Amino acid sequence: MTARTLRVLFLDDHPADTALVTESLARSGMAVVTERVDSPEAFTQALREFAPDVVLSDDVLENYDARAALEVVQSLRPTAPLIVVSDAPERHSAASYVRAGAEDLVLKSCLDRLARTIECALAVRRRLERLTPRQMEVLRLMAEGLTTPEIARRLILSTKTIETHRGEIMKRVGIHDLVGLVRYAVRVGLVSPAA
């Protein structure tokens, strides 16, 4: 388990479920600080101000769902994995969450898996922490299939600057080919596989 205290943001409209998950993480030896929100506005604000290490989302909220939350996380806090914690989702829903960029789906009946899932998700994303916001943006655009000149035009930078960013991204994440970078960007949810 990680030695540091993790910041866990819950997107859930049931305080009892949040307490159950928090207890499960504590039993596993994970030190956490938590915040729970239940609306799109509060969620966006918490991503900015609470700055979570991980987001745990219920799959069904009255006016918001995990897929909508994923888009906001990918935009505001791409280093934070989103894990769906659910009672029993439909099969197509579970697959669609993962395709959309969720790290995993953990059933509430199997919460003993959650701490390990969080650890694995954070390990995969650690390399993102080495990137600057501009490098994250370049990586995202590369993964969306834009060429170096197209990225340069979009960001109003020179082609040489984009090439420098690309080289630095490869060095910092330890992946030295475009296909590998695209796979990594999809794996961590920077872009969806359909992008």
Please give the Cα distance from 20 to 33 (Å, whole number).
Answer: 14
What 8-state DSSP symbol labels residue 33? E
pTM beyond cutoff 0.85: no
Q: How far is CA 28 from the centre of its chain?
A: 22
What pLDDT sits at residue 176?
A: 93
What pLDDT sits at residue 92?
A: 60
- Which residues, at least 6 apart from 1, have a Cβ–Cβ distance to it below 8 Å? 28, 29, 30, 115, 119
Please give the Cα distance from 69 to 172 (Å, whole number).
Answer: 28
Nearest to 59 by CA among 74, 69, 51, 71: 69
What pLDDT sits at residue 195?
A: 46
- The answer to whether 192 and 101 have CB atoms below 8 angstroms apart is yes
What pLDDT sits at residue 51?
A: 92
What are the mean pLDDT values of the chain's consecutive 10-residue runs (195 residues total)? 79 89 92 92 94 88 77 86 82 71 86 92 89 93 94 96 96 93 86 61
Domains of the chain: 6-126 (3.40.50.2300), 131-187 (1.10.10.10)
What 8-state DSSP symbol labels residue 87? S
Strand ordering across the sheet containing 104-107? 32-37, 6-11, 54-58, 82-86, 104-107
What pLDDT sits at residue 1?
A: 46
